[in-house]
Each structure stands twice: as structure tokens, then as C-alpha cells.
Amino acid sequence: DAGVTQSPTHLIKTRGQQVTLRCSPKSGHDTVSWYQQALGQGPQFIFQYYEEEERQRGNFPDRFSGHQFPNYSSELNVNALLLGDSALYLCASSLVGQGSTEAFFGQGTRLTVV
Amino acid sequence: AQSVTQLGSHVSVSEGALVLLRCNYSSSVPPYLFWYVQYPNQGLQLLLKYTTGATLVKGINGFEAEFKKSETSFHLTKPSAHMSDAAEYFCAVSGGQGGSEKLVFGKGTKLTVNP
């Protein structure tokens, strides 16, 4: 079982650019959630995707958007990057369709905006 | 609304000593409570969770936590610290298992274990 995989592991972008982060859920899972973890802080919920729809959303601006594909993998897109978007972005997968399980986290993508 | 407060951003113990990491929560619905561990440059690994039933929860690596509703607490303990326990620990609350409902995390406690 490969677990939750995220790519890339590290990324450096310039302010104003756009970025796409990718997540493959644990085998058998149908739901993907994204979290932002700023340095020295706990993770903060961005949004959750289930059945290719955004199911829940945290307090993040519209610059943050996502997508879920039929194979349950997901992308997180951030437009017009700000220095404050520098953080570890964590993807978590779970099974919701047939009874809820806890969230399993990937290793994260470290985004640095310069 | 839900929130988590972790008392102490840094805790230092000697190897073999008791580990106690404090977590207090606020929740408008019956809470599901979690402790996660994060090693440097890693994601989060679930240590243990409280859903319903027994209030003393045992997890991996010898950790346990007790849900105390009257104190709105979910403190994490381990009788004897090991060097490999050095990491950052996050307490989280959710309205569900954490898979279907969002997790609300505390700011974390960094545990240092001294030889």
C-alpha cells in the first residue's frame, strides 16, 4: 500500500505566479482534504473534495482552488502567489462513501514563495 | 465552532521520564479528538483517537490519552520517554472521524528528549 503520495516535495515560486500541487490518495479512499501548515503553526483546513465536488471549505480566499479526478486524485491550485503562501501543504485522504475513517496524511509539499 | 489549545509550545524531558502534553478543546458538538505526531520534514501520523466509549485511549508507541469532558481536556501521556519520541505533537478536534469532517488543530508542542 503506497499510502498518500504528494508531488512535488519542494517547490520555489515567485510572487504573483501560479502553482499546482498534486495528491494521490491511499488505495481505497475516496475523499481528499488539503491543509496549509505555516512555519510554527498547526495545519489549517483549506477544503475537501468528494465525488469530484468541493464538499467543505475553510477560511481561504478564492485564489485557492482545487479539483478531484475520477480516480480520486486531487490538485490544489494557488493563483497570484503571495509571500504569505509559503508553507507546507498537506494532503489527507479518507474513506467517506461507506462509513467514515480517519484521515491519513501525505508527506507534504513545501512551497516557498520569493 | 471548534478550537484546540495546546499548553506549552516546547516541552523538554529526560529519557525515561514521564511525558505529558496538554490539550484543551472547545466544541459545540460531541467531539472526536486526535493526537498526531510530526517528525522533521514529514507528514502527520495518527497516534491515537477518541470517538465514543472508553475515555482512556491507547495508541501507538506506548502513548495514551484520557478524554475528560468536565475539564474539556485530552492530555497525551507516555510513562517513559525514548529518544525516538522527539518530534512535534498536534492535538486536533473534529465533529466526526476526521475523514468526513475537517480537523481543527492546535499550534503544536515540540517535544525534546534529553539523554
Residue B4 with chain A: CB contacts under 8 Å:
42
pLDDT at A40 over 70: yes
pLDDT in tens, A50-94: 999 999 999 999 999 999 999 999 999 999 999 999 999 999 998
Nearest residue on chain B to A38, alpha-carbon basis: B107
Geometric angle at alpha carbon A56, from A108 and A82, rounded to 5°: 50
In chain A, residues with a C-beta closer than 8 Å to the C-beta of B98 are 94, 100, 102-103
Per DSSP bridges, beta strands B44-50 and B32-38 are antiparallel
pLDDT higher than 60, residue A8? yes
Continuous segment of H or E residues that includes residue B62 = none
CA B29 to chain centre: 19
Residues of A whose CB is below 8 A from B101 = 56, 100
Transcribe B31-53 into DSSP letters.
-EEEEEEE-TT--EEEEEEE-SS
CB-closest option in A42, A103, A106 to B107: A42
